């Protein structure tokens, strides 16, 4: 099985933000594609709040949280989808 170091998530609603959070906590370089900067910011805030709750409950250390959020807003969690990657990358939206 190949080593995975980069992980892409399309959409950062409740499910996408949870997936991005788990992958970032596992040390992966997570790239989230969202349709607007506002939605990307809301997703990042959702992940940060969840990580903060984990620290308060004793499930994570502050260092774990900081590592997962390192480099934000990019490239760790909030970068754009890399050009030339798999054909499954998101298509530009046409005003929808």
pLDDT digits (tens, 9 = 90+) for 1-13: 678 888 889 888 9
Cis peptide before 73 (omega within 30 of 0): yes
Q: Report pLDDT digits (tens) over 25-68.
A: 988 888 888 888 888 889 989 999 999 999 999 999 999 999 99
User: So what's the pLDDT on residue 49?
Assistant: 96
User: So what's the pLDDT on residue 1?
Assistant: 64
User: So what's the pLDDT on residue 27?
Assistant: 87
Q: What angle do CA 1, 14, 28 make, to 5 degrees?
A: 30
Q: Show the DSSP H helices in 12-78 as ranges.
A: 14-25, 37-56, 62-69
């Amino acid at each position: 099985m190949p080593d995975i170091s980069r992980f892409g998530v399309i959409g950062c609603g409740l499910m996408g933000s949870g997936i991005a959070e788990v992958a970032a906590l596992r040390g992966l370089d997570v790239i989230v594609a969202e349709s607007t900067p506002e939605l990307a910011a809301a997703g990042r805030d959702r992940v940060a709040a969840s990580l903060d709750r984990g620290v308060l409950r004793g499930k994570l250390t502050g260092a774990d949280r900081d590592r997962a959020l390192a480099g934000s807003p990019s490239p760790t969690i909030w970068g754009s989808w890399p050009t030339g990657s798999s054909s499954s990358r998101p298509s530009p939206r046409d005003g929808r």
